[in-house]
Structure 1
Amino acid sequence: MSSPQVAMCNNNNTCEVEILQAVGYLPVFLVGLLLNMAVLRVFLAKRAMWTDTHVYMLNLAAANCSLVFFLPFRIYNAFHRLDRTHFCTFLISTHYINMYASILTVTAISIHRYLAVKYPFHTRTWRSKKVAAVVCGTIWVTVVTICAVFRKDKDPRKLITCYEVSQESTLSVEFLVVLEVLGYLLPVLILVFCSTQTIRVLMKEKDEDEGTTVEKRNIIGIVTANLIVFVVCYTPIHLGFLLRFLFKKIKWESLKLVCDFWLVCEWIATTNCFLDSISYYFMLKQFYFENSRSAVNTHDRQ
């Protein structure tokens, strides 16, 4: 799902925060690349132990990695303007396709986790790697299809530079509704419901031993962290979409604050590519450690 563009500045009124924001992408790129590659390394090293949950997490890591890989072009563009070509369209599309694939994958993980905790026996029959793969495939088909349907919103002729949209170019009402409702409102509502219900169920369960208590606390911590990261990262940018649409008829000079706000919002949204990876990395490490320890104990008993 692509945005018409990432900035609302023109050549005569360049946002002061643009260079600072571009420099901000450098640590996002470095940290995001290292963390996501670390997650992928753990995945590939333990393929025999994969579950349906790991298929979702692999899809999330792939989306985050794809977004991170193209950040150097954004950094380069801040200092040496890229030409307005279809390559800019590709960069914009790739950025937002992966961002919304990440949003929908996090939503799917939240639903999966809630059902597994709330209805562990009733949902066991369809909680499989094959079903998870179908869900992930559907997510990619959805975001790419939406990108293709609204391809006119990212035409190079509407750009001032590779990362700047002209004043006359605005989101269509239909595209705005898709971005706000399908891309944010529904996911955040689902995430809030599933996360709070998962925490509620876990807190009501009686612990059998200390190990179960620690594991439950870890899950609650991860669920809470994922919810906070999602809200903090993706709320500002979707507020920015709405503000840009509402301010489209205001004089260009009046849009400077919207421009600055938008640049910061997009940077905040991009930081999600490594913030999610932190919690999922430790969850993977804990999962594989516990399984390895169980295997050793089983071997010792034999």
Structure 2
Amino acid sequence: WGNTLDHWRSEAVVLSLLFSVIFLVGAAGNCLVLAVLLRGGRANAKSTSLFILNLGVADLGFIVFCVPPQATVYTMDEWPFGPVACRAVHFVIYLTMYASIFTLAAVSLDRYLAIRYPLRSREMRTPKNALTTIAVLWGLSLVFSGPYLSYYQQMDLDGTTVCIPAWDIHHRRVMDVCTFVFGYLIPVLILGLTYARTIRYLWTAVDPMENMSESRRAKRKVTKMIIIVAVLFCLCWLPHHLVILCMWFGHFPLNHTTYVLRILSHLVAYTNSCLNPIVYALVSKHFRKGFQKTFGCALRKRVVNRVHVVPPAQTVRTLPREPVPFLDFSCAED
């Protein structure tokens, strides 16, 4: 019994550390992405930027509202947040999951139109239409994730408060299969089809001289970045869906090994929400410059505030009565 208790404590410590890293990296990274995109209204300039902004909002919402409660459950082995949070947390998990995968599917179509029909698609790929699409995507996400408001319920099992599915087995199986089909399989098929056609056009149907243009190279880089983000989402959420499908249609006994596999599948899925900012920083030169500029401006403003705050007694003879504000033009908007 002593060895088992020590082993459980070790696992709880490791899980707490992993969830803490996911939360800190995900929250900081996605906040930085939002700051870069919103800086100077740049997110309103292009439809792709709006979709990336929406993806960052979904990831940040998932990180802030879902990771801490789930981390607490896995470390304490019970649900301490009450019945309302039991339903709300799982609802937000699937709401943000649907919003993310639907956004990735929409941006894959946006990239295909931008590359395949650059002139004809300009009237369609406007910020207004992008915002309308994002509103529709969130509406669909609400519809598909709405049933999870009643799917989970707080219960007392042998003196332990838990948050577990409350539906009967038949309805749970139908719901989980529908989540896999509409929240993973169909969007992944859309992603695969659109990006396959996009890549084929980029590498086989483009004139060599046109391919050398700066615009064409920029579109390739953006498409490469979005493809990496989409592939990571598909890979990170695949174990979660496979575990659920194995529970219903395969052999998945309830023991310590399968419990660990379930936790690992959740960890991998949660990790996806903190990977996108890393991808943006590694692949996109514009995001790297935006990150550096945002950090640089924040640091310079702090230094400026410290340097230029001088005691009034020392400034009576050297400064006019109306002090001239310091302007840091290096941080001005482009």
1:45 to 12, 18, 39: 39
CA distance in structure 2 between the aligned counterparts of 1:38 and 1:286, rounded to whole angstroms: 13
Deviations 1:62-120 (A, max 9, x none): 00010111222222333444335221211121122112211111111111111211122
Question: Cα distance 1:218–1:126, how it changes in 2: closer, same or farther (>3 A)?
Answer: closer
Q: Which residue of 2 aligns with 1:58?
A: 53
Residue aligned with 1:155, SS = strand
Code of the aligned partner of 2:234: V
CA distance in structure 2 between the aligned counterparts of 1:16 and 1:288, rounded to whole angstroms: 38
2:124 to 109, 120, 126: 126
2:73 to 71, 77, 92: 77
Residue aligned with 1:156, SS = strand
CA distance in structure 1 between the aligned counterparts of 2:218 and 2:285, rounded to whole angstroms: 13
Code of the aligned partner of 1:154: Y
Q: Which residue of 1 aligns with 2:331?
A: none
Q: Which residue of 2 aligns with 1:32?
A: 26
1:67 to 62, 66, 80: 62
CA shift, 1:171, in A, is: 5.6
Q: Which residue of 1 aligns with 2:89?
A: 91
* Larger displacement relative to structure 2 (38-47 or 281-290): 281-290
CA shift, 1:53, in A, is: 1.4
1:228 to 228, 231, 238: 231
Q: Which residue of 1 aligns with 2:305?
A: none
Q: Which residue of 2 aligns with 1:186?
A: 186
Q: Structure 1 length as normaliser, TM-score? A: 0.77
2:145 corresponds to 1:151: no
Code of the aligned partner of 1:131: N
CA distance in structure 1 between the aligned counterparts of 2:49 and 2:257, rounded to whole angstroms: 42
CA contact (8 A) 1:22 1:74 kept: no
Q: Which residue of 1 aligns with 2:242?
A: 239
Residue aligned with 2:146, SS = helix
Code of the aligned partner of 1:128: T
Q: Which residue of 2 aligns with 1:274?
A: 274
Question: Cα distance 1:178–1:45, how it changes in 2: closer, same or farther (>3 A)?
Answer: same
Code of the aligned partner of 2:86: C
CA contact (8 A) 1:171 1:245 kept: no
CA distance in structure 1 between the aligned counterparts of 2:23 and 2:113, rounded to whole angstroms: 34
CA shift, 1:27, in A, is: 1.0
Listed as ranges, the gaps of 5+ residues in structure 2 are 1-7, 291-334
CA distance in structure 2 between the aligned counterparts of 1:210 and 1:123, rounded to whole angstroms: 19
CA contact (8 A) 2:90 2:149 kept: no
Q: Which residue of 2 aligns with 1:299?
A: none
Deviations 1:263-301 (A, max 9, x none): 1111111111121232345666527969xxxxxxxxxxx
CA contact (8 A) 1:32 1:68 kept: yes
Spell out the pairing of 1:94-105 with structure 2 (5 A cutoff): 94-105=92-103
Deviations 1:15-35 (A, max 9, x none): 996664443211111111111
Code of the aligned partner of 1:72: P
Code of the aligned partner of 1:127: R
% identical aligned pairs: 26
CA distance in structure 1 between the aligned counterparts of 2:28 and 2:75, rounded to whole angstroms: 24
* Larger displacement relative to structure 2 (200-209 or 268-277): 200-209
Question: Cα distance 1:256–1:245, how it changes in 2: closer, same or farther (>3 A)?
Answer: farther
Code of the aligned partner of 2:18: G
CA contact (8 A) 2:62 2:92 kept: yes
Question: Cα distance 1:129–1:115, how it changes in 2: closer, same or farther (>3 A)?
Answer: same
CA contact (8 A) 1:39 1:277 kept: yes
Question: Cα distance 1:219–1:44, how it changes in 2: closer, same or farther (>3 A)?
Answer: closer
CA contact (8 A) 1:170 1:245 kept: no
Residue aligned with 1:172, SS = helix
- Structure whose CA Rg is larger: 2
2:118 corresponds to 1:138: no
CA contact (8 A) 2:281 2:287 kept: no
CA distance in structure 2 between the aligned counterparts of 1:162 and 1:91, rounded to whole angstroms: 13
